[in-house]
Amino acid sequence: MRNNLLIYNSLAKKKELFKPLNSPFVGMYVCGPTVYSDAHLGHARPAITFDLLYRYLIHLEYKVRYVRNITDVGHLENDADEGEDKIEKKARFEHLEPMEVVQKYMNTFYKNMAQLNTLHPSIEPRASGHIIEQQELIKILVDKGYAYETNGSVYFDLLTYNEKYKYGILSGRLLDELQSNMRTLEGQDEKRNSFDFALWKKATPEHIMRWPSPWSDGFPGWHLECSAMSTKYLGEEFDIHGGGMDLQFPHHECEIAQSTAAFGKEPVKYWMHNNMITINGQKMARSLGNFITLDQLFSGDHPVLKQPYSPMTIRFFILQAHYRGTIDFSNEALQAAEKGLQKLMKAIETLKKLKPTSISTLDVARLKNKCYEALDDDLNSPILLSHLFEGVKFINSVVDGTEKIDSSGHESLKELFKIFVFQILGLKDEKTGISDEKLTDELMNIIINLRQDAKNNKDWPASDKIRNELKGAGILIKDLKDGAEWERE
RNA sequence: GGUCGGUUAACCGAGUGGUUAGGUAGCGGUCUGCAAAACCGUUUACGGCGGUUCGAAUCCGCCACCGACCUCCA
């Protein structure tokens, strides 16, 4: 097994050699979506980034348990601890049960993820299905003195936590700094300090999603679900936790605090964060009118889009940039990616048909090694792609006769593309979506028009030849007064 | 205001103290009945000003601009 994978650890702020706690087993947790609206461009980035990692770890023969949650309760609209639940709000607008909203957008999310060719995680747990685990975790925190109840709600006591452990190790934020920056919001009189965050919230009478608990009928806080579910499925300590950079603070910082307080040790060995996506240099936001859902991207149905972009174009485009850099979407950039992907796929088709000779001018083993080195360097997919394009150039040069390949080189090069392009990068060939039926119609139109031209020129031998040869292929031409039609025999 | 990150050629986007990343587009050429594809070559690259160094786009300082987070966000 190769064991040279360097991962940039957001906690250490440097690249570190990846060593699983319990090799060959790897536990990996990634924050999934809150399912209250259609999946958008922003969801594609972490999904593809961590799909790449998942695929690579599997390729390296690790036994990976990849957990990605679905947040279907507890994510509030405004402040972390105040405001309406996002899903309830949507349910009210659409006159649906909250769980209907959840189902609807979970379906879209999974559909879009499948289109992007991301593998399903090993477990996709939902917050609402783990209320008991969350309550158990709260009990531990209360018992250990890191949480307190006020009016039926339970809050995490950051000041007490900070005395024993240091809060802010991931984001570099200090507690007193936080205090001076925090806005004063309603309802905070329940808290000992403004920076304390909710573990359990007492439901107001109109709140629909509610569960009984020792403290009140209510619902869990947002940060809690990830700690509860990662602990349940991956243990008190696990290898990798991923998510968007925007989640570093406060979400991941709170997760660290919750788990550390409860179990006395830091939960995660490697924290990984993907960077954000901008559109034409601007942050994607509903208010800026550049908010694009994945369905819109695939259909081209959005004012900023000049054309539809296929799921694989999006995947290729995201892989062309390193996951820790921001990435800017524009029509020009996407069109470039579309062309590049076509070139790659076309060369792979060409490769299959190559005629081997007795000599080879390419060192496939060396190229393969460079591909591994790129991935081992913190998943440097753009470098990997640049190496693969070296292979593309070589393939085309073989066709041109300026390079040679022998049969063993031919086999290993095919294997190389299979591994890196399809298995690890997770790309796939998307034939332009013309159905066979539509193609047949178009081809027959062309043939009938050619025959009509011949008839117009009184070129009867040509027109008869077309009719007879089509008959041989099982297609009957019937001349009409005006034009012709065809049918299968 | 605080914290952090970025500024690379027409566009996207890697990377490095001295040697062509790659993709796309443009230009010239080869090939071709024409076209397409492919191949070869090519276009003011490294925000500004200082410093360290034999040598910096790569290290340091200052400035400008952009962005993220600080409030829900992938």
Strands, E assignment, A312-363: 327-329
| Cβ A249 to strand B below 7 Å | yes
pLDDT in tens, A260-288: 999 999 999 999 999 888 887 777 766 66
Tell me the nt nearest to A285, Cα to C1': B73
Of residues A323, A155, A131, the one with CA closest to residue A254: A155
Q: Give residue for tokens 């890191």.
A: A146
Phi, psi (degrees; rounded to nearest 5) at A485? -130, 170
In terms of C-beta density within 10 A (0-12 exposed, 13-18 middle, 19 or more buried), how is residue A206 classed? exposed
> Whose C1' is closest to the CA of A399: which nucleotide?
B38
Q: What percent of chain A has pLDDT over 70?
A: 93
User: What is the per-residue pLDDT for A401?
Assistant: 85
- pLDDT reported for residue A234: 96
Residue A386 vs residues A200, A380, A392, A413, A463: alpha-carbon distances, Å: 50, 10, 10, 15, 51
Q: For residue A278, give the 3-state DSSP assignment.
A: strand
Higher pLDDT, A439 or A331: A331
How confident is the model at residue A73, as a pLDDT?
Answer: 84
pLDDT digits (tens, 9 = 90+) for A214-226: 999 999 988 999 9
Would the Cβ of A335 be found within 7 angstroms of any atom in strand B? yes
Q: If you measure CA to C1', which residue is closest to nucleotide B31?
A: A400
- What does the block give as tokens for A205? 């009478």
- pLDDT, mean over chain A: 88
Residues listed for chain A: 489
Report CA(A325)–C1'(B69) in Å, whole number: 15
Contact between the CB of A49 and strand B at under 7 Å: no
Distance A261 CA to B7 C1' (A): 41
Beta bridge partners of A85: A76
Q: Indicate if CB(A306) is under 7 A from strand B.
A: no
In angstroms, the CA A283 to CA A441 distance is 45
Considering all nucleic acid strands, name the nucleotide whose C1' atom is nearest to the C-alpha of residue A242. Answer: B74
Q: What angle do CA A121, A123, A125 make, to 5 degrees?
A: 120
Whether residue A433 is predicted with pLDDT greater than 60 in this model: the reply is no
Nearest nt to the CA of A332 via C1' is: B11
> At A150, which amino acid appears?
T
The answer to whether A307 and A45 have CB atoms below 8 angstroms apart is no
Residues A126-164: pLDDT tens digits? 999 999 999 999 999 999 999 999 999 999 999 899 888
Average pLDDT score over residue span A59-67: 96
Minimal CA–CA distance to A346: which of A443, A421, A433? Answer: A421
Strand partners for A38: none
Flag whether pLDDT at A205 surpasses 90: no
| Residue A64 CB in 7 A reach of strand B | no
**pLDDT, tens digit, 9 for 90 and up, residues A106-124:** 999 999 999 999 999 999 9
Separation between Cα atoms, residue A65 and residue A52, nearest integer Å: 14
The reported pLDDT for the residue numbered A80 is: 47
In the predicted model, is pLDDT for residue A184 greater than 80?
Answer: no
Assigned token pair, A232: 């349940």
**Residues A108, A285: Cα–Cα separation, whole Å:** 20
**DSSP designation for A477:** E
Strand B-contacting residues in A 140-169, CB cut-off 7 angstroms: none
pLDDT tier at A185 (50, 70, 90 boundaries)?
A: very low
Q: Check whether A434 has a pLDDT greater than 60.
A: no
* A357-386 average pLDDT score: 92
Instruction: Flag whether pLDDT at A90 surpasses 90.
Output: no
d(CA A449, C1' B34) / Å: 22
Q: Please answer whether residues A255 and A226 qualify as being in contact, where contact means their C-beta atoms are separated by less than 8 angstroms.
A: yes
| pLDDT given for residue A174 in this prediction | 74
The answer to whether the beta carbons of residues A141 and A262 sit under 8 Å apart is: yes
Q: What is the dihedral of CA A412, A417, A422, A423, to 10 degrees?
A: 40
ipTM of the complex: 0.89
- Give dist(CA A291, CA A300) in Å, integer: 13
What is residue A287's predicted lDDT score, i.e. its pLDDT?
64
Instruction: Report which of residues 388-417 in chain A place their beta carbon less than 7 angstroms from any atom of strand B.
Output: 389-390, 392-393, 396-397, 399-400, 402
CA distances from A217 to A21, A89, A154 (A): 39, 19, 12
Q: Is the CB of A77 under 7 A from strand B?
A: yes
DSSP three-state, residue A70? strand
Q: How far is CA A164 from CA A197, A255, A263, in A?
A: 18, 16, 13
**Which residues neighbour A160 within 8 Å (Cβ) at sequence distance 6 or greater?**
A145, A146
Q: Which residues 264-293 on A are within 7 A of strand B at the CB atom?
A: 274, 276-278, 281-285
pLDDT top residue among A75 and A227: A227
Residue A82 scores a pLDDT above 60: no
Query: Residue A185, CB, less than 7 Å from strand B?
Result: no
- The residues, ordered by sequence, that sit 6+ positions from A384 with a Cβ below 8 Å of its Cβ are A371, A374, A375, A420, A425
pLDDT at A95: 84
**Phi-psi category of A24—alpha, beta or left, where left has phi over 0 and alpha has psi -120 to 50?**
alpha
Tell me the whole-structure pTM to 2 decimals.
Answer: 0.89
Of A362, A148, A130, give the one whose Cα is nearest residue A227.
A130
Average pLDDT over residues A409-433: 89
Please list the residues that pair with A8 across neighbouring strands. Answer: A15
Task: From the CA of A311 to the C1' of B54: give the distance in Å.
Answer: 52
Looking across all nucleic acid strands, the nucleotide with the smallest C1' to CA distance from residue A342 is: B23
User: Chain B: nucleotides under 7 Å from a protein CB?
Assistant: 1-4, 6, 11-15, 21-25, 37-40, 66-74
Report how far residue A252's alpha carbon sits from residue A115's, in angstroms, rounded to the nearest whole number. 29
Question: What distance in Å separates the CA atoms of residue A233 and residue A263, rounded to the nearest whole number?
Answer: 15
Per-residue CB contacts under 7 A with strand B, chain A residues 429-458? none
One-letter amino acid at A207 equals H
In this complex, the nucleotide whose C1' atom is nearest to the CA atom of residue A277 is B74
State both tokens at A56.
């690579």
Closest CA to A25 of A274, A269, A381: A269
Q: What is the CA radius of gyration of chain A?
A: 29
Average pLDDT over residues A391-396: 92
Distances (CA, A) of A6 to A242, A249, A377, A380, A423: 15, 24, 5, 10, 20
pLDDT at A189: 66
A13 CA to B20 C1' in angstroms comes to 32
- Give strand pairing partners of A16: A7
Quick one: three-class SS letters along A383-447?
HHHHHHHHHHHHHHHHHHCCCCCEHHHHHHHHHHHHHHHHHHCCCCCCCCCCCHHHHHHHHHHHH
Distance A313 CA to B41 C1' (A): 30
